[in-house]
Chain A
Amino acid sequence: MLLINCPHCGDRAQTEFTYRGDATVQRPDPATASQAQWLDYIYFRDNPCGPHIEWWQHSAGCRQWIKVKRNVQTHEMLGSADATGEIADEIEEAPA
């Protein structure tokens, strides 16, 4: 069981959360974006083997979207923040 630190509610079980995916992906500006930018945004991912910043929604809790930093090779939790916040580097990153 993943134990996910919700910045609003504290450590909660993964079953309270819904996963969304890579939180570093930025939606391009529709007014100026090229086709290549849209392509990259929709289909292409870094998919790192190591620390990964991702969206989770605390759907069975406070219902807030949060950012979580997690090592996808070890499932180790490396920090979390509100959706608009930045994750503090309190925990040393495990080597990828």
Chain B
Amino acid sequence: MKSNPAKKRSSGVSRRDFLRRTAAVAAGAYVGPMIVPASALGLGQTVAPSNRIVMGCIGVGSQGTGNLEGFLEKKDFQFVSVCDVDRGHRENAMSIINGTYGNKDCKGYNDFREMLERTDLDGVSIAVPDHWHSIPAIAAANKKLDIYAEKPLSLTIVEGRAMVEAVHRNGVVWQTGSWQRSRDNFLHACELVRSGRIGRVHTVKVGLPTGSPIEMQPVMPIPEGFDYNFWLGPAPEAPYTEKRCHWNFRWILDYSGGQLTDWAAHHCDIANWGMGTEASGPVEVEGAGVFPRDGLWNAATDYEFNATFPKGVSPVSPDGFVMNVSNKNEMGARFEGEDGWIYVTRGDQSSGPGDLIASEIGEKDVRLYRSDDHAQNFIDCVRSRKETVAPIAAAHHAIVIAHLGNIAMQLGRKVRWDPEKEEFTDDPQASRMLARAMRGDWHI
């Protein structure tokens, strides 16, 4: 079932190299924007073991295990290893993998660096807390592994930029877990906006969830089998308490940007997709947030900020536009133009005036990247070496908006931003918040 590392070394050509070379040949005959799904070529259910994409998982908590279970439905993958600093999570994921394949081949690791030393991996699936996103992703990219990784892309702007550069420098395939891009209603809404159906867009309202406070938690003994020091990793020293870890990391600013960054990676990403601003960013950000004054969790519970995009960055907003991001807006993205509005969220969409959301995209309209299966798109791109529907640069530009919002709200004032240089303009204090020092020996 697994590829044979010894055989690979003796041949001097890895299966990964082979996949890339054959993809390059195929690319010569490639025409049009569509990537032909492997499933459409009859590959989905009949992939020879030697042609499977050999994968490892880094992080198999609730999200990582959910991703894994979805991936295991794809016969193109062969999962051979699992890494998690929580033994319970690790052993559960190993059991799922071994149960799927009917063997005991999956190997578990506590330290992702040891797993990345394997020579048989083609790619990794990363689903770890946000403060751990950059380090294993950059390490995997430097090992020339293709990467499926959870959103939000980064904890800081500097970490995100380093991740983008590592992925591009190494030429690896990257897909962010911003799976809304693989849902037809989001694609359709964005294509309508990009095709000018609502005229010049002046405002995009992005609605995200409200955060939560919690009372201060007592210091607790570290559970057996949980490598808490490794879980903290680059984050500041802090004593263990249950509500700090696993799913709850997202409420604490040492490990995340709160609901703001968690969901901006979805809906700000869709806003950028619709506006065609995936490679640019705002020049001013200003807003206010309510940060819990006591208790363990300190990410903003209520928040609202405006990100001002300048002239010329959006093809449907020549004069510039404002992206209003708040938990007070309706969940999703609402595009408001001179001739109407379009709203899209999970499982729903609407428009006005009339039912223009129901109109079809014509031959002369703008067509965006079409994917109807996020995992399959990753598989197809690993084989074709094409860019996925959710590339790392788009994820970076989406989450930069949220990072800027958090910085402006924490400073309590407007910040000005140069999206080309990715620098604050004449703002040394905000510039201090571009990156964070990392604990111990960890670095990007």
To the question of whether A and B form a pair in one complex, the answer is no
